[in-house]
Amino acid sequence: MKQGRGQGGDAGGGAPRGRRGGQAEGRGGGQNGGQGGGQGSGPRGGAGRARPGRGAQTGHAGQAAPEARTGQRRQGRGRPPRDEARNAAYDLMRAVDERDAYANLLMPTLLRQRRITGRDAALATELAYGTLRGLGTYDEVIAACSDRPPEKVDPPLLDAVRLGVHQLLRTRIPSHAAVSATIDLVRLRVGPGPSKYANAVLRKVAGRTLEQWLEIVAPPREEDPAGHLAVSYSHPRWIVTALRDAVGGDLDETAALLEADNERPRVVLVARPGRATVEELFAAGAEPGAYSPYAAYLPEGDPGSLAAVGEARAAVQDEASQLVALALTRVPLDHDTTWLDMCAGPGGKAGLLDAVATERGARLLGADLQYHRARLVWGTTREAKVITADGTRPAWRPGAFDRVMLDAPCTGLGALRRRPEARWRRDPRSIPELTALQRRLLDSALEAVRPGGVVAYVTCSPHLAETRAVVEDVRDRAEVLDARAFLPEVPGLGDGPYGQFWPHRHGTDAMFLALLRRP
């Protein structure tokens, strides 16, 4: 599930207009990722949109959602009032642009520091995450309504206008309130002069619905399928192409996958066996998961407020992440005492593996190249030994383990729902370096496991170069098991022998699993 470090923008249409490139350290780059950088202003047609959410009215005709604050009225001609929700969303946008902040990490901190709660917190989160997901679409619309392209607009002003466009096209906030609140934000944070530009652009945007704008700015599907999907669903063109290849070339399924990437993911909890139960989570307000016996969905509230989560007996963990770990533990072995999680940070799978191993009388060793990530693993496990180590230069002897989890650094294309800005940071130029690292790590994992033992090769990416192509290179040295046989509760994992989870099929991250037995 880990994302490798990658280049910043995609010179072939990878980043939305005006989005700054730069150093972009991938989340979870547990092993030797490459350094990133580069400018990212792709051509039109290189990014796209997110469809309106369920029940939402697009454009300016809808009524304000109950949870949406529409901003305060101006007070005379003085300084506009400060709308805390919109200012928090704006500050997150600027942090993502200026210092490559991770939205899913920074937003909770902003809300907590500013004591923004309830409906205002929900509004701030929706505005920031929704705008980051829809940047590609919104920049195309802004370009059609402006006298200069977005990349020529001052970035602080552009981010504020993007927030306004999101409110106009993908929320039920009335257009007059969305425009007024955005103008106030620009006057307060950028200046009175730039507010005239924002006002002119937003009033043009408000004249059409999202569907009407897409008829104008998206290339025709029959002439440019990838460009049409990229603009319509706000993904870089190269990601659209990679995902289309991964689903077998079907454009309708590709569209469904891209749409699922733009949906807000539900909060999934894992009850670590022997330490918490799903019944305890249900009593705290959670609901049963779909597949994993340890999963529960939290419909609302802060998961950190649950006692089991606060005590590390439970955690937030995507259901696919739970299941690929469980699949590794379900392969029968004649000897089963020592397990390895080779790229363990930040520790989600390690936490579950540690709990299962403890119940069986086995022991887990968790390793990660980076010390701070190894510390996170230490915090999520109880009985495991955790070390800082390079998986390509192992600190363990060959054949020492019965089971090995290799959750390899990757592009993270399978987790775009959870990391709204990640799609604009990934770069196809980083893939050769990542796949070379993945091959070295898989070679090392097969050396670490004993004859007859099993390795799980996992990526949070469906990209064929990071999944099947890597495993195919070692098929002459390992028996590839049918991963689906160890996940009987999950339909639709593909034709085998690998297992591929999908957001649009399973409601999970797009996680890939291969199980390999060393002869």
Per DSSP bridges, beta strands 449-459 and 401-407 are: parallel
In sequence order, what are the beta bridge partners of 298?
267
CA triple 500-506-509, angle to 5 deg:
65
Q: What is the torsion angle, in degrees rounded to the nearest 10, for the CA atoms of residue 148, residue 153, residue 157 and residue 162? A: 60
196 is in an annotated binding site: no
C-alpha to C-alpha distance for 380 and 219, rounded to whole angstroms: 47
Contact 412, 426 (CB under 8 A): yes
Q: What is the torsion angle, in degrees rounded to the nearest 10, for the CA atoms of residue 396, residue 400, residue 402 and residue 406? A: 30
145 is in an annotated binding site: no
Catalytic, out of 157, 374, 448, 460 = 460
Burial environment of residue 140 by CB neighbours within 10 A (0 to 12, 13 to 18, 19 or more)? buried
Give helix then strand counts, H and E, for the chain.
Answer: 20, 12
349 is in an annotated binding site: yes
Contact 85, 124 (CB under 8 A): yes
204 is in an annotated binding site: no
The count of residues in the chain is: 519
390 is in an annotated binding site: yes
C-alpha to C-alpha distance for 408 and 194, rounded to whole angstroms: 46
Residue 118 neighbours by CB distance under 10 Å: 8
Residue 362: φ, ψ to 5°: -100, 170
Which of 121, 29, 67 has its CA nearest to residue 345? 29
C-alpha to C-alpha distance for 310 and 313, rounded to whole angstroms: 8
344 is in an annotated binding site: yes
Question: Cis bond leading into 16, ω under 30°?
Answer: no
Indicate if the alpha-carbon torsion angle 109, 21, 1, 339 is positive or negative.
Answer: negative
460: annotated active-site residue: yes
Buried b (16+ CB within 10 A) or exposed e, 47-61: bbbbbbbeeeebbbe
Tokens of 419: 């990391």
76 is in an annotated binding site: no
Residue 301 has what DSSP assignment?
S
Query: Where are the strands (E) in 9-76, listed by range?
Result: none
C-alpha to C-alpha distance for 273 and 429, rounded to whole angstroms: 41
323 residue type, one letter: L
Q: Could you write out the three-class secondary structure of 380-420?
A: HCCCCEEEECCCCCCCCCCCCEEEEEEECCECCHHHCCCCC
453 is in an annotated binding site: no
Binding residue numbers for S-adenosyl-L-methionine: 343-349, 368, 390, 407
> Which residues participate in catalysis according to the annotation?
460
Binding residue numbers: 343-349, 368, 390, 407
